[in-house]
Structures are given as structure tokens and as C-alpha cells.
Amino acid sequence: MPEKKTKFIVIAGSIMSGLGKGIVSSSIAKLLQSRGYKVVPVKFDGYLNVDCGTMNPFRHGEVFVLDDGTEVDMDFGTYERFLNQSLTGLCSITGGKLFKTVLEKERRGDYLGRDVQIVPHLTDEIKRRVAEAATDADIVLIEIGGTIGDLENGYFVEAMRQQNFEKDNMAFIQLTYVPSLSPGEQKTKPTQHATRLLQSLGIQPDIIVVREQEKLTSESRRKISTYCNVPEEAVFDDPLLQTVYQLPIVLDRQGLYDVLAKKLDLKKKDADLKTWQKKVSQIIKPKEKPLKIAIVGKYTAVKDAYVSVKEALVHSAAALNCGLEIGWIEGSDLESMDNVTPTLAEYDGIVVPGGFGTRGIEGKIRAIEYARKNNVPYLGLCLGLQLMVIEYARNVCGLKEANSKEFDKKTPHPVIDFLPEQQQIAKMGGTLRLGAYDCILKEDTIARRAYGESKVSERHRHRYEVNSEYVKTLEEKGLVISGTHPKNNIVEITEWSKGFGVASQAHVELKSRLESPAPLFVEFLKAARKK
């Protein structure tokens, strides 16, 4: 039978949140990609925010940014890290975007006097957007955010039910959880109920993936199969793993692709996961002993707030075949200490990631000063560049009160100031300097060596920049400006001329993938290894 055009796979989570749906989706996408298919992941998010830009990382984890500047859910980071592929804003379909479009159409009179409803108007808008995202994809993999039964994602589920009925080109995957009350005592009843709930919405899962505390017993598998209407060979284990990057391999071994292939008429083919497997082995069993890296941040209690930074370190450590131990330090904790040395001395390198607002700023600056004076490799990301410049201005250039206008509106030395285009902006959402911008690298610098090329493009999300009026003073005192934006000379990368310190105005962590780690991170870990 000839292959039909684009196929669709829909993944829905059940029972509870936090089961790792994004990782399961990305792993399945990887299985398809590794067989030569062009896969486009799409995420449905039921919240009424238009995008993630206005969400607090404490509540929602990191805000991820795409090349086109769309601010998206952190699941997009997982998709890109697994697929080694850059996505566009079309892949993010939120409740906010849908309602905005439908209400704007209503105001324009596009609905010609009809009463405007969730079904069919909102559901049609979902199907339209899915088709738009699907252009030139062989397979679109759609992850429904939230849990089945949530009021928020009901219209997404309904739209997919309709599309399945209309086009018959879909496979549904349900992610569930099987708890064990004691070893061997597995409980499948929550899964059975959850599947009934999905069935009551008109959807029969083709595959059930089970997050579990221990491997499913044959009894549990049989029960899930019988009571959920799914063949036993379509029930898969999603066990606890040492690293998330193992999951594609684990699911492939169990034959998940074969079940999908049968349902969607895909070709019979083995996965090419050789390079992937090698990287995974280097994470699990690295040759060299672990490097200890401190991340000095503000949201360190919520590790999801820095997931791309953490993963970029994992990718680079794997590339160097080194182990990795990350220490999370609150910037504000360093502020109250008489001496930061006992806390920081155990680390081989220090990272200051991005951030907004004043809390913990002075503590982060102390960490940077410590790194510079003690020859500890330093990597700064966005805010981490701005603070590297402030520390240098204060302690090397003698501008004692140097600061960013973000933290001190009246500073006599605003070495970090508002980007000119930000002066007039009153709205919060989508108004930062966002997305990919080019950067020209200077010869004989850490950055140039790390990238091995003279022009690169990285992703941004900031309102402030290095004030050009201070560039000369900083350079005269030895701060190296190794990267600038070609058009308006915005400082993009700074370095210390002695020791190893490099910082980027861009969030270079956002483009780090297991198969192509961020060059500045690799260079930073090389320096940490030397130390």
C-alpha cells in the first residue's frame, strides 16, 4: 500500500502532570527522524497567555526562545536538543493565540453573523494551525499539554478527534503512570480509568506508554491490554533512567516504532542511532572524572528554570568524555557571607546564567570577582555578561558605583543601559530583543577559537546592553570585546585577557544539542578540566 501524505501522532498525558511527556514525545520523534523521516513537533498549550514570555520561571520553568524570536514552553528545548533541529513559532499553538485570532476575526465580522463557538470555530483554528505547521513534514508529532480531563485542553482533544475522523491519518499515544505500592505490587487501575476518560472523549489510544517505578509485570501488561483495548505489544515501559537521552534507545528496543509503522503505514527500517548511542554512553560512563561546576542563579530551587544551561553542560561534558557534577548556588546566599571562598573553592568552573530583577545580583558579582581573581574559569550568559562587565568596571576600571540601569536607575556609571529601541516600549509581552542575531568574532579570542568561524548566530532575550560610551574604558583596562553585532555594534561577547572568562549577551545554551554542543560551553569545560 502506498504511503499516504503527512502522518500525525498525538501524545496525551493522563493521571497526573510531570510524567515527562516532552521527553517521551522527543524520544519518539527521534525514532522517526533516525529512520529518515522529517518530523515536526507541535505543542498544544491550553493556557491563555499568548506565549511564555510573560511567565515566571519559578512557576513555569525556563522560557525557551526560538530563532524567530517566539518565546515558548521549555518542552521546545527538549525537542530541539533531541532532534538537533531548529523549530519555528508555528509549532507552538497556545490557547492565547487561538482565542486572540478567533476574537479578532469576530470583531472584523469574519463570521458573518454566526454565533462564535469553541466548536467549530476554535477547533477549526486548531486544525488550520496544525496544517500550517505541517508543511513539508513527513510526520507531525503533537504533544497535548496538561492532562486528559483538564478543562484547558479539552478543545485540543476534540480538534484531534475530529481530524482523526476526517483524515484517518493519526496514531494516538497515551502516557500513564503505574505506581507500585510495594515491590511487585503494581496498580493499573488509574491507567484503566484514564483510558476510559480518553475513550469518553472519542479517542482510543493505539499505544500506551507507562511511566513506572519498576518494570511492568506480565500481569500488569495483560490487564492494561485487556481493559484499555490495546494489544499487549503496544504497551511500553518508560522506566527511570540515568539520563533522559537513553529513552529513544529504550523505546526502540521494545519495538515502539514497529507498532507505529503498522498503524501509519510507515516503512520497515532500522534506526540509525549509532552516534546517539555513543554520546549516551559517554554521559553514563564517562572516561574522565567529574568536573564540578557551580551555577550561581536566582531560581536555583526550581531546576527547570535553568534546564537549557544544565543540558548544555551535559552535552559539553559528553563531548569531552568527562563526568559532571553541578552545584546550585543562590546569588543572594553569597551576599550575606563574610567570605565566599569556602563555598566556591570546590568548583572547577563558575556559570552565571540569565536573569531579571535585583535579587542576588551583588552575590553573583562576588562570584565573578572570585573567579577572576582566583583564576577559576567563568562562563556568563546574558545577565552573566552584564555582571561580568559591571564587576570589571568597578574593580578594574575603578568605577566604584558602576551598575546596570536595571538595578540602579541613578547610577553615575550606567555601564549597562536600556537598548535604544526599548526606551519607548510600554508593553511587556514579546517586546524584548528576541531571537537570533548575528555576531562577528574577533581573531585570536576565546570565542573565535571556540566557534572556529568568524560569524555566528545565537538567540537573545534581553532589554539591556553594554553602554557603548564605556567600551573604550573597558577595553583600555584589558576587557576584550570579542563579539559584536554587525549592524549596530552591540557588544555580544566579552572576555578577560588573563585566565579564562567569557560571557555572551546571547543565551548560547539555547542552541546546544547532544549532537552539537554549544561551542562556548565546550571551551569553558576544557578550561575547567585544565584547572
Q: Under the rule (CB under 6 A), what is the footprint of ligand GLN?
A: 354-356, 382-383, 406, 461-464
Q: How far is the CB of 462 from ligand GLN (least distance, A)?
A: 3
Q: Which residue is closest to ligand GLN by CB? A: 354
CB 143, CB 44: distance < 8 Å: yes
C-beta of 221 vs 461, nearer to ligand GLN = 461
Smallest distance from ligand GLN to CB 352, Å: 9
Unique residue bearing C-alpha cell 559584536: 484
H helix and E strand count, the chain: 19, 21
Q: How far is CA 141 from CA 199, 307, 439, in A?
A: 20, 22, 33
How far apart are CB 508 and ligand GLN at their closest, in Å?
12
At 519, phi and psi to the nearest 5?
A: -55, -40
What does the alpha-carbon distance between residue 242 and residue 21 come to, in Å, rounded to a whole number? 17
- Calpha distance 453→457 (Å, rounded): 11
> What dihedral do alpha carbons 485, 488, 494, 497 form, nearest 10°?
110
Phi, then psi, of 140 in degrees rounded to 5: -105, 130
CA angle 458, 461, 466 (to 5 degrees): 85
Q: Give the residue with the Cβ less far from ligand GLN, 223 or 462.
A: 462
Q: Which three cell numbers stand for residue 340?
A: 565566599
Cβ proximity to ligand GLN: between 121 and 310 the closer is: 310
Least Å from the CB of residue 406 to ligand GLN: 5
Q: How far is the CB of 349 from ligand GLN (least distance, A)?
A: 19
Q: Which is nearer to ligand GLN, 40 or 387 (CB)?
A: 387
The C-alpha angle 26, 249, 326, rounded to 5 degrees, equals: 70
Nearest to ligand GLN of 178, 385 (CB atom) = 385
Is-catalytic flag, 439? Answer: no
Q: Which of 382, 406, 485, 495 is catalytic?
A: 382
With respect to ligand GLN, which residue has the nearer C-beta, 355 or 483? 355
The stretches of 287-360 forming alpha helices (DSSP H) are: 307-320, 331-335, 341-344
Phi-psi region of 53 (alpha: psi -120 to 50; beta: other; left: phi over 0): alpha
- Judged by DSSP in three states, 272 sits in coil
Residue type, position 379, single letter: L
Q: The C-alpha cell of 185 is what?
A: 505490587
Shortest CB 432 distance to ligand GLN, Å: 7
The C-alpha R_g of the chain, in whole angstroms, comes to 25
- Catalytic choice (62, 125, 212, 509): 509
List the catalytic residue out of 406, 492, 507, 523: 507
**Shortest CB 298 distance to ligand GLN, Å:** 10
**Nearest C-alpha neighbor of 511 from the set 308, 209, 227, 292:** 308
Q: How far apart are CA 311 and CA 291, in angstroms?
A: 15
362 among known catalytic residues: no
Say whether 382 is catalytic: yes
For ligand GLN, the closer of residues 8 and 392 by Cβ is 392
Catalytically active residues are 382, 507, 509
